[in-house]
Amino acid sequence: MTPSTGLAFLFQRLSNDLASQRAEFLSQVLALASTRVAGDSDYARLTLGRSYATADNHDLAVAEYSRIGPDSPYFLVGLSSEIASLVANEDYGRAIGRLDSALNGNPEAPELYILKGQTLQAQGENAAAAAAFEQAVALGEQAKRSDLVMANYWLALGGAQEQAGIWPEGLESLRKANELLPNSPTILNYLGYAQLERRENEAEAVAAIKQAHELRSSSPAITDSLGWAYFITGEHERAVAYLETALEGQPQDPTINEHLGDAYWTVGRLYEARYAWKTAQLFAEDEDAQRLASKIDLGLRPDLVSP
């Protein structure tokens, strides 16, 4: 340790704290100062890259992250940050190429397959993402990763399979994630809602969502899931109460607004239903936007109920 090391660390810490407060210019000034003081420091490069990314200067961020070599202890976090910036620029081809290059050098690293799967998902390639996550799961089991890590790998695999329509394989992956980490609100909510969307195993789905809500009642997404579970099972007044609570936490969320609109219509609050659907339509896309337009014109019909 030297005075220069300590000063560089001070600048890095201040830069990170300022970035979290969206003081972007000052964050970059201190990150640049840290690179001058620290000299050949990968942590300084990581800090500078983060300050650029926070300010949406992703090209500069990528250039800085790419200077962190594969032998550095900061390589994986630097690569992950680099991929995030490339995805933010929608430069998916370059991101996948960067990951394939890293995999050529370390083909047994499950973390790299996780990054590749996440990048493919961002591109909308869910089936290819599922294949990458499947490889990560196999390598993670060989490397005897912890239950916490493996639960997240199985959750990633199940989510990609579910979005790609690879079902019921996706359900089995989500159940495996829940088995490894039985008190995760995120896993429980996904496990329950994925089944609820398909109107299958309703008792299991509702039980999982109720448990998720008990563990994290402050989450608008989980509260929405519970309200929708009550709607699907016919407890419409109860559904309205939970969906209104969810909307307070995320008033612009299209899914929550559509769910609440469906519940309002079912209990006879027609004006409020159309208001909720119109709010949802402001942020909805593609098929969801078309379905909402039909509800606003025609009211709620069985074929127009939210998935």
CB-based contacts of 122, cutoff 8 Å, min separation 6:
87, 92
The answer on 109 and 59 residing in a single domain is: no
pLDDT tens-digit series, residues 228-256? 999 999 999 999 999 999 999 999 999 99
How many CA atoms, within 13 angstroms, populate the side-chain half-sphere of residue 26? 10
Does residue 195 form part of some domain?
no
Asked if residue 126 and residue 37 are part of one domain, the reply reads no
Amino acid type, 129? A
Q: Rounded to the nearest 10 degrees, what angle do helices 24-38 and 42-54 cross at?
A: 170
Angle between helices 147-164 and 169-180 (to 10 degrees): 160
Both 244 and 280 in one domain: the answer is: yes
* Phi and psi based region of residue 109 (left: phi greater than 0; alpha: psi -120 to 50; beta: remaining): beta
Burial class (CB in 10 A: 0-12, 13-18, 19+), 30: buried
What is the model's pLDDT at position 198? 93
Give the least confident one: 10-19, 72-81, 147-156, 180-189. Answer: 10-19
**Last residue within a domain, chosen from 94, 126, 161:** 94
Domain contains 48: yes
- CATH code of 36's domain: 1.25.40
Does one domain contain both 148 and 225? no
Query: Of 164, 182, 200, which closes a domain?
Result: 182
Tell whether 193 is covered by a domain.
Answer: no
pLDDT digits (tens, 9 = 90+) for 198-216: 999 999 999 999 999 999 9
CATH number, residue 237 = 1.25.40.10
Give residue 32's pLDDT. 87
Residues 237 and 173 occupy one common structural domain: no
Tell me which residue has tokens 């699907």: 232
Any domain includes 8: yes
Residue 191 in any domain: the answer is: no
- CB contact at 8 A, 154 and 181: no
Q: Which of 182, 201, 226 is the endpoint of a domain?
A: 182
**In terms of domains, do 256 and 297 share one?**
yes
Q: Is the pLDDT of residue 197 over 80?
A: yes
Residue 202 lies in a domain: no
- Residue 83's domain comprises 1-94
277 domain residue, yes or no: yes
60 and 146 in a single domain? The answer is: no
Reported as a pLDDT band with limits 50, 70 and 90, residue 5 is: confident
Based on the domain organization, do 220 and 303 belong to the same domain?
yes
CB environment 131-165: b (16+ within 10 A), e (fewer): bbbbbbbebbeeeebeeebbbbbbbbbbbbbbbbe
Q: Are residues 82 and 108 in the same domain?
A: no
Domain tally for the chain?
3
Query: What average pLDDT does the segment 153-166 reach?
Result: 97
> What CA–CA distance (Å, rounded) separates 176 from 241?
32
pLDDT in tens, 92-125: 999 999 999 999 999 999 999 999 999 999 999 9
Note whether 24 and 16 are within 8 A (CB).
no
Pair (71, 151) in one structural domain: no
